Structure 1
Amino acid sequence: MNEAPRRRAPQAVLFMCGQNSVRSPIAAALLRQIGPRGLYVQSAGVTHGEPNPFAVAVMEEIGIDISGHRPWTVDDLENWEGFNFDLIITLAPQAHHRALEMTATLATDVEYWPTQDPVGTEGRRELQLDAYRATRDELMRKIRARFAPPPVANE
């Protein structure tokens, strides 16, 4: 019987987006909450962003506090703690290109999960929050699919 090869379980995951203010901190917080125990999770951006109150609000709705998050870049991260990730998940095109450049000589897997940036959403506050919720929920689905525990074999 031919089975698809199993991906090895990562030990350290980095989520990258453009400014580390919405998508990557949401994804990192979600994975920390529902991911395997002992998994190291971090987030970073290509450039510096500002903390985003809408991101904080939609995460608070599901009981996850990201109010203390301060955006930083992959350069900040590398200078602070080194770059020791075995999986980088990029959420924006510029982040994906940067990750590929950074890992050209490393044994690091890079996955691209195109994810809508809700920052440009205009209109009433509730419409804006809906866009952030959609991004949060999309990331939750992708994280559950990617990091689901392996099926238990029937004995």
Structure 2
Amino acid sequence: MAEGLMKKLYGQKAYVQSAGVKNDMEVDGFSIAVCRELGIELSRHRSRSFEEMQLWGDDLSQFDLIVALSPASQRMALELTRFHHLDIEYWPILDPTGLGEAREAKLSAYRQARDQIRTKMLDRFGPPIEENT
């Protein structure tokens, strides 16, 4: 979700790669639905684990910033980058998985998480690029 929002707001201004502590491969259907509401297509998006990034040649030291959205990902990022100089920021975002029972309640939780991420991005990186708003 975060990678799609970043690309929508800032286009090619920055190279973005989403990664997690583990590889979930398929993007959650609720994430796809709430991002589609903003014109962001995630259905073909695949997430990677930090280990897969390294195996596939993404050198973490080439990144300027890692944004961790969970305490577990923050710990993993700190461990993997202990020999590299790059910034790691923790953004405490609502974890919508497992929240709500009915479809609309689940979508509401995912929208809240999506909007929290969007607000954090705007606060951190400034106004979006005109053609992507």
Partner of 2:75: 97
TM-score normalized by the length of structure 1: 0.76
Q: In 2, distance between residues paired with 1:138 and 1:72?
A: 22
TM-score normalized by the length of structure 2: 0.88
Residue 97 of structure 2: SS of its match in structure 1? Answer: helix
Q: In 2, distance between residues paired with 1:55 and 1:103?
A: 28
The structure number with the bigger radius of gyration is 1
The 5-angstrom pairing of residues 110-149 of structure 1 reads 110-148=88-126
Identity %: 40
Partner of 1:67: 43
Instruction: Report runs of 4+ in structure 1 exceeding 3 Å deviation.
Output: none
Partner of 1:43: 18
Structure 1 runs not aligned, ≥5 long: 1-25, 150-155
| Equivalenced residues, count | 124
What amino acid does structure 2 have at the position aligned with 1:139? Answer: I
RMSD: 1.3
The 5-angstrom pairing of residues 12-51 of structure 1 reads 26-35=1-10, 37-49=12-24, 50-51=26-27
